[in-house]
Structure 1
Amino acid sequence: MIAVITERAPQLFDHELGDGTRFRCTESFWSLRTGTRTAQKHPANWKDIVEAAFLREASCIRDYNIPAALRVNTDQTQSVYAPGTKTTWNEKGVKQVDISGKDDKRAFTLVPSISASGEVLPMQAIYKGYTTQSCPSPHTPAYIEAQKLGFSLEPSGTETYWSTLETMKNLVNKIIAPYFEASKAKLGMSEEEKKHQHSIWKIDCWSVHRSDEFLTWMKRHHPNIIILFVPGNCTSVFQPLDHQAVRPSRSRC
């Protein structure tokens, strides 16, 4: 290892550290470390904020008589095509460990949803690009199965793979609203009852979700869907999917 570094980066041996010492390629100086990043910081009064959000949700359930099947939580997560290693060699004792290229990934956004009754809804996947050529080919393994399950695979229409206002509208029209209507039928509601029955959709307080354009669109086209926001920087304690599904899956990558 020393020979490789000497050949490819000899300047490292002339670099002085903060304590006046120089780089040394020894096991006492370096160790194999896992990459780290600053943890999400909760607001100082996060317990009060989460309690208020909980009471708001409880009051909606009580006032509108909303059963578990009509309460859905949606999250968004980055899905990397080929996850790399999370470890690197770094100086012993260093608390913050950055891995070069770790965030330079080819990925897509997966949008999972689950009801309070435990039913997993079809997922939406957002791919970078402007046409369906950016999405998986119909010849991709499991593509037909995904279509039968109601998965929505679509381009972002931008230079990123993040959800947009349009993809959020598609999510509601193709997945969220149809699920609520199907669930009302399963619950044995009459056509008249379906018209007046409310549902709850819990999502992050992301800028697109909170935009006047999106909220106005929801009120106009889906007035019986009540949107409840997960308080900012509280997803790890009040976002069911983030706490029980998305975050654990990230830690296994």
Structure 2
Amino acid sequence: MPDGTRAGHPNRDGKFPRSGHSAGLPITLDRFSLLPSGKKTWAERGSKQVTVHGHDEKRQMTMMVTSSCSGELLPFQTVWGGKRIDSLPSPAADGWAEAEALGFKHTHGDTRHWSSRQSMKEWIDEIVIPYHARMCSKHNFPPQERMLLLLDVWPVHTAKTSDEDFLPWLKATYPWILPRFIPGGCR
């Protein structure tokens, strides 16, 4: 069997073949777009007042969700269009304090709400690296224990024409993070 073929499949002991790595270190991500909308809400019949959240909100954003092989959800990253601070969610918004307590990060895309190479670097620095450090401490691993990063084939993930692109930056900055790609169209 070629090296790495079973890289994403832990054995019965929760370890990965050939490496002995804990199942807590491999991580993967997915993203989806959200557009707050709708003119309907749910309330008890006969209610005198019904609060509608996001009725006037027309900004679309991308939510990045990351999980570990052990099933832990990492803090979410939201990616918003625009470049100014006022294009990000307001600290006065409903749920802001809870999102902050859970470690959510809010950032800008390039000119739209899609992930950019900068937002991917921020995701690594602000979400992945703290998780990795916590897992290394918990399992008594060395600080630069290898981590498997499962990515979909997305242009921002695969570009490597410049040293500033995500893959070359990742290899130079965190050589112990091992990116692996899930081929397009796989389910």
TM-score range, shorter chain: 0.7 to 0.9
Aligned to 2:72: 119
5+ residue gaps in structure 1?
1-51, 86-104, 238-253
Write out per-residue CA displacement over residues 209-234 of structure 1, whole angstroms, 9 at most, x where no aligned residue: 01112111001111111111111111
Question: What CA distance in whole angstroms lies between the structure 2 residues aligned with 1:161 and 1:216?
Answer: 23
Which amino acid in structure 2 is aligned with residue 202 of structure 1? L
CA deviation map 1:60-108 (0-9, x unaligned): x3233221110111111111211589xxxxxxxxxxxxxxxxxxx7420
Answering whether residue 125 of structure 2 is matched by residue 173 of structure 1, we say yes
- Give structure 1 regions of 4+ aligned residues with deviation exceeding 4 angstroms: none
Kindly report which structure 2 residues correspond to 1:158-197, keeping only aligned pairs within 5 A, or say none.
158=111, 160-189=112-141, 193-195=142-144, 197=145
Match of 1:55 in 2: 6
Q: Which residue of 2 aligns with 1:147?
A: 100
The SS at the match of 2:166 is: helix
| Structure 1 residues 200 and 84, CA gap change in structure 2 (3 angstroms) | farther
Identity of aligned residues (%): 29
Give the Cα–Cα distance (whole angstroms) in 1 for the partners of residues 135 and 7 of structure 2: 23
| C-alpha displacement of 1:144 | 1.6
Relative distance call for 1:117 and 1:107 in structure 2 (3 A) is same
Q: Deviations over 1:95-147 (max 9, x none)?
A: xxxxxxxxxx7420000001111111000001110112111110011112211
Matches within 5 A, 1:36-75: 55=6, 57-58=8-9, 61-75=16-30
Query: How many residues in Structure 1 have an aligned counterpart in Structure 2?
Result: 160
Please report the RMSD computed on the Cα atoms of aligned residues, expressed in angstroms.
2.4
Instruction: Tell me which protein shows more helix as a share of its residues.
Output: 1
Cα distance in 2, alignment partners of residues 173 and 205 from structure 1: 21
What is the rounded CA distance, in whole Å, between the counterparts of 2:4 and 2:182 in structure 1? 7
Amino acid in the other structure paired with 1:211: A
Residue number in structure 1 paired with 2:87: 134
Select 1:207's aligned residue among 137, 146, 155: 155
Rg larger in structure: 1
Contact in 2 for aligned 1:205/1:230 (Cα 8 Å) = yes
Contact 1:164 1:208 in 2 (8 A): yes
- Give me the whole-angstrom Cα distance separating, in 2, the residues matched to 1:124 and 1:232: 23
Higher RCO (CA < 8 A, seq sep 6+)? 1
Distance in 1, matches of 2:20 and 2:39, equals: 47
Contact 2:8 2:26 in 1 (8 A): no
